[in-house]
């Protein structure tokens, strides 16, 4: 049986080729990694459901552009430094929310929670509460498409009322809206001291752009309610948001 010759020359040629084109190979590996990560990130954006940005690749690209401007969401020092000490929640009665905070989206627009969703039945009750508060407080609020989410209805300050403060102006007079397509979290404008309580007791956090030139620091995300007690707490927060934005402590509450 003839001896097999070892193709040393061919191996040396391949090694020489790799050495000459190492930079191209490195670029190829990096490009492949970036493409895979980009595809995964795009699917994560789409999985959150429609929001304020276009629900397509163009909206995803815009969301990526916003990411460098994201801020931390859980500190409360800025509320301690705020001269407005008015509250619309009874802070002594606010209990800590049970369990850990939900995991939040990597993208900052839309801003959504990714787990610990509200059950569908609880989400429908939350929407019914939103509608009932709108009807009960017709002198304070109106319902229009959200100025931020566009696809969701929002409570806004009634057109008969003046804009009470600079945060309301920056928020375009929008009080709150519910993310109705999936998680049933909310965005709401709350007084500085109520923001502090909501964060410290675990009921919500700031939007990643809150406190920037885009959104006021009072623009909060409230976690989706999972049971009757949590729905009752969110109802109190919604009434507090109406009071803060309409500049009144007389807000009609509704049975839930």
HEC secondary structure over 6-65: CCHHHHHHHHHHHHHCHHHHHHHHHHHHHHHHHHHHHHHHHHCCCCCCCCCHHHHHHHHH
How does DSSP classify residue 92?
G
What is d(CA 88, CA 183) in angstroms, rounded to the nearest whole number? Answer: 26
The region that residue 248 occupies, defined by phi over 0 for left and psi between -120 and 50 for alpha, beta otherwise, is: beta
Q: What is the pLDDT along the chain (256 residues), one digit of tens a residue?
A: 455 555 666 666 656 655 565 666 677 677 776 788 889 989 988 888 888 788 899 989 999 998 988 899 999 999 999 999 999 999 888 999 999 999 998 888 888 898 888 899 999 999 999 999 999 999 999 999 999 988 899 999 999 999 999 999 999 999 999 999 889 999 999 999 999 999 999 999 999 999 998 999 999 999 999 999 999 999 999 999 999 999 999 999 987 7
The answer to whether residues 115 and 103 touch, using CB atoms and an 8 Å cutoff, is yes
């Amino acid at each position: 049986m003839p001896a097999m010759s070892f193709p040393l020359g061919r191996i040396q040629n391949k090694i020489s080729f790799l050495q000459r084109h190492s930079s191209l190979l490195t670029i190829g590996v990096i490009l492949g990694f970036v493409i895979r990560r980009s595809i995964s990130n795009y699917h994560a954006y789409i999985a959150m459901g429609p929001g304020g940005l276009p629900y397509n690749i163009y909206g995803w690209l815009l969301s990526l552009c916003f990411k460098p401007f994201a801020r931390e969401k859980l500190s409360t020092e800025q509320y301690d430094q705020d001269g407005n000490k008015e509250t619309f929640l009874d802070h002594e009665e606010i209990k800590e929310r049970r369990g850990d905070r939900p995991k939040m989206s990597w993208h900052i627009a839309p801003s959504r929670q990714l787990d610990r969703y509200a059950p569908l039945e609880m989400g429908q009750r939350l929407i019914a509460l939103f509608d009932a508060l709108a009807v009960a407080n017709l002198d304070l609020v109106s319902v229009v498409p959200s100025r931020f989410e566009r696809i969701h209805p929002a409570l806004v300050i009634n057109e008969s009322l003046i804009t009470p403060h600079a945060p309301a102006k920056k928020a375009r007079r929008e009080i709150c809206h519910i993310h109705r397509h999936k998680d049933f979290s909310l965005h709401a404008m709350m007084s500085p001291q109520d923001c502090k309580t909501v964060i410290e007791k675990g009921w919500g956090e700031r939007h990643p752009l809150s406190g920037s030139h885009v959104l006021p620091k009072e623009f909060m995300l409230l976690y989706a309610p999972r049971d009757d007690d949590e729905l009752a707490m969110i109802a109190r927060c919604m009434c507090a948001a109406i009071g803060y934005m309409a500049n009144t402590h007389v807000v009609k509450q509704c049975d839930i």
